[in-house]
Amino acid sequence: MKVGVFDSGLGGLTVVSSIQKIFKGAQLFYIADTAYAPYGEKTPEEILNRCDSITSYLLENHGIEALIVACNTATSAAIKHLREKFPFLIVIGTEPGVKPAILNTKTSNIGILATPRTLKGDKYQLLVNELSSIKKVQLHEQACVGLVEQIEKGEIDTKKTFDMLEKWLTPMKNDNVDTIVLGCTHYPLIDSVIKRIMGDNITLIETGDAIANRLKLLSEEKGHINEGPLNINVCHTGIINRFMIDKILNNKNIEVRKCKI
């Protein structure tokens, strides 16, 4: 099985980290589209075109059989198009974990951290409307402008990153938020900073494990045998922080190279 995974940068590697725990006997090709990052501040048309180009590149150069859009913003903009254009591929998207958050919360106050584009996207709005009947909750939405760039630079524990998060999270803390949805695949990388501000009792909802389980299930339905090593290759279109790749995946046997898409 050959699997393509992409994101605007390092964030999608949190999904790859979940995949490598349970998925075996495959080749995984990761595209960090850093030349066009961040997606969250691009138009839907620009994002869709990049998703199309990256998928075509993965098909032509690596013959992928499954595709994971490891980005909430890109999923919102392009998942329907990708499924229609490439019906022969397993296509898995990423969406904020609003449903598990609704089921988890005790205070009925849920925080949503996401990019501006994800919060404005039709997919997120439809998801919220669809799930609103489960339980009456208050959603405290926060567009985290500039946070992806901080994470891409490896500035996880810096004062600037802490101050940004503290400004956004303090109102949530005051409003008795007990569950926060990490609506961007970059955000699990700053979970320790969030807990420092919100306290250890905060529940953080991310989607990497759910995506990994979905990939395993759908690939096995197509005849994939989940045995043997998982080989990971990382390709980046612009500048990338190699230290962060090693930190996220904790795997030294990874080929990292620059590519043009």
- Among candidate residues 51, 144, 184, 235, the one labeled active-site is 184
User: Is 111:180 a contact under the CB 8 Å cutoff?
Assistant: yes
Helix (H) or strand (E) holding 181: strand 179-182
Q: Is 184 known to be catalytic? A: yes
- Among candidate residues 51, 71, 144, 235, the one labeled active-site is 71
User: Is 76:114 a contact under the CB 8 Å cutoff?
Assistant: no
What Rg, from alpha-carbon coordinates, does the chain have?
Answer: 18
Look-up: residue for tokens 């994101």? 7
The separation between CA 172 and the C-alpha centre of its own chain, rounded to angstroms, equals 22
Secondary structure percentages of the chain, helix, strand, coil, to 5? 50, 20, 30
Sheet holding 230-236, edge to edge: 90-92, 66-69, 2-7, 26-32, 230-236, 255-258
Residues that are catalytic? 71, 184
